[in-house]
Amino acid sequence: MMRSALRLAATTFGVIVVTAGTLAAVQSWNTQPAVSNRLVRPLPLPPPPRGYSATLLPVGSYASLPTDAQAAAKVYLSSWEPRPGNQRYNHTMPPHLRLRAVNINNGAYNPLWNKYILGRITGRFEGTTDEIFDWAAIKWGLPDNLLRTIAYMESDWHQSNYGDYVTDRAECPRGYTRLPCPVTFGIVGIKSTSWPGIYPWNRKSTAAAVDAIGGWLRGCYEGWVLWLRGPGNRSHGVYHAGDIWGCVGAWYSGRWLENSPDSPNGVRYTSRAKYFDKTTPWLDPQF
C-alpha cells in the first residue's frame, strides 16, 4: 500500500514520484489487444489450498516474464466468485495505461525499474476476481496465494476499497473536491500519489490494481527499490534482492524490515501475511 509519508527523495516513495511527475510517460511494454477468457464458463471451483502455482521465479527472471496474453493463456479458468460486487471492476480494463517514469538519476531505483516494472503494468485482463490474481501471479512470476493474501489483508477482496485520506487538496485525485479525500483505492490498496498515472484505474479496474502490486513485488524482489537501503530502513538488516516477505512488509510500511514504534509495523504485517498465506481464509465457506 505504501502508506509511508513523504520524505526526502533518497528514502521515500512520495517525493520520488513528485519528481517523476515531470518526466515522460513510460512506453507500454505490451501491445496485445484486450485479453478476455469469457468464451467458456467453467465450473465454479475455488483454487486449491496452495493455489494453482506456488512458484516464485528467481531473481533475474524479469526479462523472460510472460506478456499479458501469454499469462492469460495459462490462467486456470473457474467461475468461482466470492465477491460478485467486483464484477464491473473485473471487466473494466484501461484502454492504454501509462505510468510515469521515476527519476533514476537520484539513485532511488535501479534503471531497469521504468522498463521492466512500470512499462509492463497494463491491467489488460478481465475475469473473475480469482482469475485476475492468477493472471497477475503468472505475469510477474509470483505465487498466486501471495496476491490473494495481500488482497485479503488490504480489502477483504473488495475492489471498491478506498482510504488513506489527505488534507492537501493538491494530492486529491481528479473528481475529489472535498477534504479530506482518499488517495488509496482498490483491492490491494494502490496509493495514487505513489503511482503517478495509475488513477483512476486503481479505483476502476481490478486487473490494473493487481497488476501494480505484482509489479511492485517483482521489482522489490529483484532488488531494484534502492531507497529501501536508506539509513532509516536498517533496523533489521539492509535491503537486498531475494526476500519476497520483506517486500510484502515494505509494501505496507514503506520501510525495510522496520520495527519503529512511530510508524506502521512492516514486520507485524509480514507475520500476519504469512499466517493468512497458510490458513487461506478465502476458502472459508463464510468468506
Is pLDDT of 10 > 60?
Answer: no
Mean predicted lDDT score pLDDT of the chain: 85
**Which tens digit of pLDDT belongs to each residue from 46-101?**
999 999 989 999 999 999 999 999 999 999 999 999 999 999 999 999 999 999 99
Q: Report the 10 Å Cβ neighbour count for 7.
A: 16
Q: Which of 143, 131, 183 is nearest to 162 (CA)?
A: 183
**162 is a domain residue:** yes
| pLDDT bracket for residue 25 (50, 70, 90) | very low
**36 is a domain residue:** yes
pLDDT at 29: 39
Q: In what order do the strands lie in the sheet with 181-185?
A: 162-166, 181-185, 190-191
Find the domain containing 75 and state its range.
13-283
**69 is a domain residue:** yes
Three-class secondary structure of residue 166 per DSSP: strand
Cα distances from 274 to residues 138, 159, 188, 221, in angstroms, run 20, 22, 16, 17
**Cell 512520495, residue?**
14
**4 is a domain residue:** no
| pLDDT bracket for residue 268 (50, 70, 90) | confident
Task: Determine how β-strand 162-166 pairs with β-strand 190-191.
Answer: unpaired
Cell representation of residue 232: 532509516
Cα distances from 200 to residues 84, 191, 209, in angstroms, run 21, 11, 10
Is pLDDT of 24 > 70?
Answer: no
Average confidence (pLDDT) over 5-9: 30
pLDDT at 35: 54
Average confidence (pLDDT) over 238-266: 81
pLDDT at 265: 65
Q: Report the 10 Å Cβ neighbour count for 284.
A: 9
Element (H, E) at 72: helix 68-73
**Which tens digit of pLDDT belongs to each residue from 98-139?**
999 999 999 999 999 999 999 999 999 999 999 999 999 999
**23 is a domain residue:** yes
**Cell 488513506, residue?**
164
| pLDDT bracket for residue 19 (50, 70, 90) | very low
**134 is a domain residue:** yes
For 205-255, give the secondary structure using H, E and C: CHHHHHHHHHHHHHHHHHCCCHHHHCHHHCECECCCCCCHHHHHHHHHHCC
- Quote the Cα angle for 95-222-244, to 5°: 95
**Which tens digit of pLDDT belongs to each residue from 141-152?**
999 999 999 999
Q: Which of 8, 11, 18, 9 is nearest to 191 (CA)?
A: 18
User: pTM of the entire structure?
Assistant: 0.84
Is pLDDT of 44 > 70?
Answer: yes
**266 is a domain residue:** yes
Could you give the CA distance from residue 19 to residue 21 in angstroms, rounded to a whole number?
Answer: 5
Residue of 17 and 233 predicted with greater confidence: 233
Domain count, the chain: 1
For 15-45, give the secondary structure using H, E and C: HHHHHHCCCCECCCCCCCCCCECCCCCCCCC
Amino acid (one-letter) located at 181: C
**264 is a domain residue:** yes
Element (H, E) at 150: helix 144-155
Percent share of the chain, pLDDT over 90: 73
Average confidence (pLDDT) over 165-191: 94
pLDDT at 238: 86
Residue of 281 and 27 predicted with greater confidence: 281
